Chains A and B, each alone.
Chain A
């Protein structure tokens, strides 16, 4: 990290936006580190979650939104459950992920592609169609061999199907997506 000018580089709009979207008060965080202590993914993170909190307090928008950690967060909510100040840290991570997605950041491409494939599948089929999701994911990432061995074992057990299931209400689900697209484009 380079030298950060706290006064001039602090993006206070970013701070208030995170506070507004998450409904959390950032100054409550006193940096005890309990969220990081319990986070199962810290070993994979580029910035530990407590440091993400500190960076948001200091209004370091770009550093936060380009972080890999946002995409590696499993939303297990250990951080939220353990925070002594009752800050919903997982909610903040979720808000940051949304912001990053809107602003074109994707700290870990494969994860973002997976989420995109998942949501596309739900939009199209009303619920996830695993094989379609996989095909979409693989075609965008080129990771042909990932979990390939699992397919032949899951198919005979009926865990995955070659055709999407014809579920009821898929139009209603699709409407949710179109409403989201309309609302967020406003």
Chain B
């Protein structure tokens, strides 16, 4: 084998602490190396041309590039060697940037380590074999998990692009958090007026199958061919017959059921349709509050229902959906603010969350759009807003900025003035983060035109004083402690990862950060991809996002899926396990350890043998380390290849 070695300067990133010319000179002495040089930027166009030219002129049949991490440019250089006629697996990369130049300052030691890494790569390359991908069929359907605005956008874009879409929503209606909002910033347009038609589109689109009140039970398979088991939770109502007339709600005697849609402001009936614009507009029974299901008495809804759709014996149902790609759009939950003793820890009825306030502002909400104190129904005069509740606070494990609270608080201050012109709004803030288009102008308008009084500082305590609340905090701009007499306190509660996000991530085999938000493939360049092929992200499940960003990401994820499905077949990764049938003793250990079920037992002339299903194998390598015979070998990482690296490193 004739190997060419290219040692990259990466400007001064590598050359700053590594003598690349010396590395190239040392590489010329390694077995098999026929050519070695150092280049300024190997990944640049002239850098890649240099490789192509050297392969042709020197008749090279293997290439080592010593530069950055393979995560950055392995694909780039594989394509380069392919362009020059070599198989893409006759290429090795030595990471002398992240593993050498960026982590050490001693030029001599760095140079020696870089030489070692190049020696290892060259030694492995001598054992590399050309590998070829196989093509496999894909199922051009997409599963979208979560029917919030991001999921809705992704579903509609995919459906418009001609794909069959399966949309799974946990609650009994799509719409997500946006459906709960009264108005949206910075335009103050009605939230349900802009979202409602999109929800209807989802219901009516011939390409979209909606599973509401459903959850993901199991996910198996791989990009192009996932199999997803969806649990359709029992609603005790036959949705095929239910017309959404709502008669059951008017007669249900159990009127103290938790009203999740209205964030607990007010109560609802045990059988309910969460809100008038719900999609699907179907009733479901909250079993915890249903007298018939709890005590066996009542049954009024069954008697009254004009279509006879009530079914108290209904059980959870499972359906299996076969799809080629998955978009996770599971959104966020609100931070549990009751950990803050200083805000009353939930003891004072007139201290509410911003989302509860939003329901109060909404004309279709439990107060019919009237701002009333939960304690006595009186209209408040002084409304105090507190920002950063569960944001930017290490003490409660939420050091990140939720990013949209500044904006919705300004909106709520504006709406408060619209609803109650005599009222006064006070906003405690730390910084005003209004970085979107027309956002800062909006917060300024709240102060300049709607007379919202902004106070820079945090609140130290809230306590009752007569029938009002006394709010004590700081005004750091005045440099003093301040007190306010408040009638209503609204907490701008931050966002956290949705409940159950971690379990879903494990089912999808995607990673999440320490706060439970899903990890994107690359923070800048792969914002909607995950590191699992065929699984994409949209909306706040990846990190808190406002509506425009969630919608953008929904569309971006849809574009990625449409791109993936633009090919009729996908290429499999040939870096998978292979069984050497001569060495296999049929012990079955590999089958037991494989986490993907990618190894099956076959009968070979009456003998038990293992066989790898190439399209399912993910190349994790667990089987190779389990096999007592060394019969299973992970291609491109065979024992011989790895041992040759070890030998190259440990020769002295």
Report whether chain A binds chain B. Answer: yes
Scoring A residues 66 to 93 as 1 if CB is less than 8 Å from chain B, else 0, what string do you get?
0000000000000000000000000000
Scoring A residues 1 to 30 as 1 if CB is less than 8 Å from chain B, else 0, what string do you get?
111111110000000000000000101101
Can you add 18 more A-B contacts, CB < 8 Å, to A4-B475, A7-B424, A27-B451?
A: A3-B481, A3-B482, A4-B478, A4-B480, A4-B481, A5-B485, A6-B426, A6-B453, A6-B455, A7-B426, A7-B483, A25-B448, A30-B444, A30-B447, A31-B456, A50-B477, A51-B478, A54-B475
Nearest residue, chain B, Cβ from A33: B477
The answer to whether B615 has its CB under 8 Å from any CB of chain A is no
Scoring B residues 432 to 462 as 1 if CB is less than 8 Å from chain A, else 0, what string do you get?
0000000000001001100101011000000
A54 to B480, CA, bound (A): 11
The answer to whether B382 has its CB under 8 Å from any CB of chain A is yes
Q: For A58, list chain B residues within 8 Å (CB).
A: 453, 475, 478, 482
Identify which of A2, A6, A50, A54 gathers the most chain B CB atoms within 10 Å of its CB: A6
The answer to whether B523 has its CB under 8 Å from any CB of chain A is no
Give min CB distance, B153 to chain A, whole Å: 35
Q: For B479, list chain A residues within 8 Å (CB).
A: 1, 51
Give min CB distance, B632 to chain A, whole Å: 66
The answer to whether B339 has its CB under 8 Å from any CB of chain A is no
Q: Are A51 and B477 in contact (CB under 8 A)?
A: yes
The answer to whether A122 has its CB under 8 Å from any CB of chain B is no
Scoring A residues 42 to 69 as 1 if CB is less than 8 Å from chain B, else 0, what string do you get?
0000000011001101101000000000
A151 to B455, CA, bound (A): 52
Whether A5 contacts B478 in the complex (CB less than 8 A), given A25-B448, A27-B448, A30-B444, comes out as no
What would 5 A/B residue contacts be, using CB atoms closer than 8 Å? A1-B479, A6-B484, A7-B424, A7-B485, A51-B479
Q: Are A6 and B477 in contact (CB under 8 A)?
A: no
The answer to whether B472 has its CB under 8 Å from any CB of chain A is yes
Give min CB distance, A11 to chain B, whole Å: 14
Give min CB distance, A71 to chain B, whole Å: 21
Q: How large is the interface on A (under 10, 10 to 19, 20 to 34, 35 or more residues)?
A: 20 to 34
Nearest residue, chain B, Cβ from A25: B448
Nearest residue, chain A, Cβ from B443: A30
Q: Are B456 and A6 in contact (CB under 8 A)?
A: no
Q: Are B484 and A1 in contact (CB under 8 A)?
A: no
Q: For A2, list chain B residues within 8 Å (CB).
A: 480
Q: Are B447 and A5 in contact (CB under 8 A)?
A: no
A28 to B446, CA, bound (A): 11
Q: For A51, list chain B residues within 8 Å (CB).
A: 477-479
A28 to B444, CA, bound (A): 8
Q: Within B188-204, which residues are at the interface with A (CB < 8 Å)?
A: none
Top 3 A-B pairs, shortest CB-CB distance = A1-B480, A5-B483, A54-B477
Give min CB distance, B433 to chain A, whole Å: 14
A54 to B482, CA, bound (A): 13
Q: For A54, list chain B residues within 8 Å (CB).
A: 475, 477-478
Q: For A57, list chain B residues within 8 Å (CB).
A: 453
Nearest residue, chain A, Cβ from B485: A7
Scoring B residues 367 to 385 as 1 if CB is less than 8 Å from chain A, else 0, what string do you get?
0000000000000001000
Whether A55 contacts B478 in the complex (CB less than 8 A), given A7-B382, A8-B485, comes out as yes
A27 to B426, CA, bound (A): 13
Q: Are A4 and B447 in contact (CB under 8 A)?
A: no
Q: For A4, list chain B residues within 8 Å (CB).
A: 475, 478, 480-483
Q: For B455, list chain A residues within 8 Å (CB).
A: 6
Whether A27 contacts B447 in the complex (CB less than 8 A), given A4-B481, A7-B484, comes out as yes
Give min CB distance, B43 to chain A, whole Å: 43
A30 to B480, CA, bound (A): 18
Q: For B382, list chain A residues within 8 Å (CB).
A: 7
Give min CB distance, A108 to chain B, whole Å: 21
A1 to B447, CA, bound (A): 25
A6 to B426, CA, bound (A): 9
Q: For A7, list chain B residues within 8 Å (CB).
A: 382, 424, 426, 483-486
Q: For A27, list chain B residues within 8 Å (CB).
A: 447-448, 451
A1 to B444, CA, bound (A): 28
A50 to B448, CA, bound (A): 18
Q: For B477, list chain A residues within 8 Å (CB).
A: 31, 50-51, 54
Whether A3 contacts B475 in the complex (CB less than 8 A), given A8-B485, A27-B451, comes out as no
A54 to B447, CA, bound (A): 13
Scoring A residues 132 to 159 as 1 if CB is less than 8 Å from chain B, else 0, what string do you get?
0000000000000000000000000000
Nearest residue, chain B, Cβ from A8: B485
A5 to B444, CA, bound (A): 24
A50 to B456, CA, bound (A): 14
Scoring A residues 160 to 184 as 1 if CB is less than 8 Å from chain B, else 0, what string do you get?
0000000000000000000000000
Give min CB distance, A184 to chain B, whole Å: 30
Whether A1 contacts B483 in the complex (CB less than 8 A), given A6-B455, A27-B448, A31-B456, comes out as no
Q: For A3, list chain B residues within 8 Å (CB).
A: 472, 480-483
Q: Are B475 and A5 in contact (CB under 8 A)?
A: no
Give min CB distance, B25 to chain A, whole Å: 57
A85 to B455, CA, bound (A): 19
Give min CB distance, B261 to chain A, whole Å: 34
Give min CB distance, B428 to chain A, whole Å: 10
Q: For B478, list chain A residues within 8 Å (CB).
A: 1, 4, 51, 54-55, 58, 60
Give min CB distance, B480 to chain A, whole Å: 4
A5 to B455, CA, bound (A): 12
Q: For B483, list chain A residues within 8 Å (CB).
A: 3-7
Q: For B456, list chain A residues within 8 Å (CB).
A: 31
Q: For B448, list chain A residues within 8 Å (CB).
A: 25, 27-28
Give min CB distance, B385 to chain A, whole Å: 13
Give min CB distance, A56 to chain B, whole Å: 11
A51 to B476, CA, bound (A): 10
Give min CB distance, A10 to chain B, whole Å: 8
Give min CB distance, B423 to chain A, whole Å: 12
Q: Are A6 and B451 in contact (CB under 8 A)?
A: no
Identify which of A5, A27, A30, A57 gathers the most chain B CB atoms within 10 Å of its CB: A27
A31 to B382, CA, bound (A): 23
A131 to B382, CA, bound (A): 58
